[in-house]
Amino acid sequence: MRIESFSEGVAFWQDSNRLTVLLLVPFYSFWPRYETKRAGCPIGLELIASELVAQGFNVIFIDACMAAYEQLTPQPDGTVRYGLTDDQLRNVLARFNPVVAGITSLFSNQHGNVEAVAQIVRQVYPKAIIIEGGGHATGDVNEVLKSQNVDMVVRKEGLVTFPALCLSVEQGKSWRNLTDELGVSFKNEAGRIVENLDRPFLPNFDGLAERKLEIPLHPMYNTPEHTGGSRFPKEGRFATMIFRVGCGFSCTFCLIWKLAGRVRGYGLVRFRQEVVRLKAAGVTQIIIEDDMFFDDIPLALAVAEILKEYDMAWFEEGGLSMFKFMNPGVPGLTYKQILDKLVETGCYRFYLAIESANKQSLKKSHKPHINTEVDLAEEIVRYAAYKGIQAVGGFMLGFKTDGGHEESLEDMETTVALAYRLKLAGLAYVMLFIVTAIPGTELYRYLKSIFPHLDLRTSHERSAFPVGGLTPTELTERRLQWMAYVNSKGCMEIAQRSKNWGL
């Protein structure tokens, strides 16, 4: 195999008789006044690349965002793009000639950029089959397929479906308007959307191909800070890892349990092997992206032990739930023991999902609501700060749920007051997020039914619908004021400079 690394990505050339597949991360954009500017190595697409390479395909991986992360290009709508310009992307694409082009579409707020990229791909490769996958493509599949530039969507997990689809194309069994592969939606010759049945989720990830480390260790991902702010130590390489995907809860505002099903992933043996390979490649720091790392706390702590064994500093980005510290679900295990273990194993920071001070908002969203036990929350935050581990508190403002529950301004202020209190108790930084309707969720269906004319596909830093007597613009502006009120001046200066978390 010939591996060709270039500034925008990596190509794996194996056999000219095999299919050539392009995997593409779009450029992204943000609203500088309101939003953070963040992106990192896309693990889902990277794992798909590794599967394709293991199955003998020629694979080109291009990241149009991280290839030019510091290049800012103002857009006509007031946003600023970070990533390649249209012409730069065209020029990179023009060097290749794939039969299939897969674009990752994770974030609904970035749907416009994904479409712009699909359009460029269509112009450069008029004959290629253009396929999107990821959380947004899955949740908004019918809308995404309305584009002339998208032929198919791989729904949910792409690890088996996408390589199977590529093989089927190679064998002439699938083409632009037809496939029998499970988990795929496409437009038939008459332009009608056909939704094949779901493909069952993999029971575990132990049989997946080894990661192609040329992707996560590509120089473009070696940034001075990571998606969760400054990194410790500053030197050395960091890499993102995932241990498990999915979630055991069914919150109405979240897509994860629909996108990835219930919790599953690697076993400890396989996880250790991947850590060993990263260590040998010079990695000194790991970012764990699991959404539900604490689904099984003893297992998570065993992962932490492995990271310690290989002397990795680490940071948990996907989020540790406050309710799991409050009630670990393991007889005799206390939040103190958990925090002690995190510190002892080299974890220097974690995102602490606290969400809300309003029990009703959490209950109505089918989210565990013991988070609202304020005194216990404060104890936990104090202990984390005492142990020197940085907990970044995450809160959600502006719930409006099916069944008539809507947060008032006072309700939102109650959550902001909790955030303030917990910041004083020792949170390293606070992220106040606005409740956002994500296509594919129950919340999206509900809010779309009452606001059919609003585009709800915003980030959690920009409000999309009126709530609690505030217009979207008012809530978005208030959020900025609340962020400044809760966080220290020092934190806010870092956040404004870095457009990332303020630490």
* 40 lines the binding site for ligand B12 (CB under 6 A): yes
**Binding flag, residue 316, ligand B12 (CB under 6 A):** no
3-state SS of the chain: helix, strand, coil percent to 5? 35, 20, 40
Q: Could you tell me where the DSSP H helices lie in 315-365? A: 322-326, 335-344, 359-364
Tell me which of 43, 416, 432, 470 binds ligand B12, using CB under 6 A. 43
Which residue, 115 or 291, is less far from ligand B12 as judged by CB?
291
Is 45 a binding residue for ligand B12 by CB under 6 A? The answer is yes
Please, what is the minimum distance in Å from the beta carbon of residue 176 to ligand B12? 15
- Alpha carbon 48 to its chain centroid, in Å, reads 16
Q: Where are the alpha helices (DSSP H) in 85-242?
A: 86-93, 111-124, 135-139, 141-144, 161-170
Binding span for ligand B12 by CB under 6 A among 4-12, 104-112, 210-218, 448-456 = 104-112
CB neighbour list of residue 375: distance below 8 Å, 6 or more residues apart: none
9, 26, 44, 393: which one contacts ligand B12 (CB under 6 A)?
Answer: 44
Q: What is the torsional sign of CA 305, 306, 312, 313?
A: negative
Whole-angstrom Cα distance, residue 487 to residue 164?
48
CB of 61: closest distance to ligand B12 in angstroms? 11
Q: Do residues 317 and 228 touch, judged by C-beta distance below 8 A?
A: yes
The reply to whether 201 sits near ligand B12 by the rule CB under 6 A is no
Site string for ligand B12, 249-268 (x = CB under 6 A): -----xxx------------
Does position 98 interact with ligand B12 (CB under 6 A)? The reply is no
Is residue 443 involved in binding ligand B12 (CB under 6 A)? no
Q: Is residue 28 a contact residue for ligand B12 (CB under 6 A)? A: yes
Q: H or E segment at 334? A: none
Per CB under 6 A, 128 contacts ligand B12: no
Question: What DSSP designation does 365 have?
Answer: T
Q: To the nearest whole angstrom, how small is the minimum distance from the Cβ of residue 336 to ligand B12?
A: 27
In the set 170, 214, 289, 407, which binds ligand B12 (CB under 6 A)?
289
Among 67, 159, 307, 430, binds ligand B12 (CB under 6 A): 159
H helices of 237-321, in order, are: 256-259, 268-280, 297-309
Q: What's the angle, vertex CA 459, arms to CA 237 and CA 294, rounded to 5?
A: 55
Identify whether the C-beta of residue 59 lies closer than 8 Å to the C-beta of residue 12. yes
Q: With beta carbons less than 8 A apart as the criterion, state whether 130 and 101 touch.
A: yes
In Å, the largest CA–CA distance within the chain is 65
Span from 87-95, 171-179, 359-367, 458-466 in contact with ligand B12 (CB under 6 A): 458-466
| Residue 414 near residue 482, CB atoms below 8 Å | no
Binding mask 376-415 for ligand B12 (x = CB under 6 A): ----------------------------------------
Give the binding site for ligand B12 (CB under 6 A): 28, 36, 38-40, 42-45, 47-48, 102-104, 106-110, 131, 133-136, 139, 154, 157-159, 162, 227, 242, 245, 254-256, 289, 291, 317-318, 438, 459-461
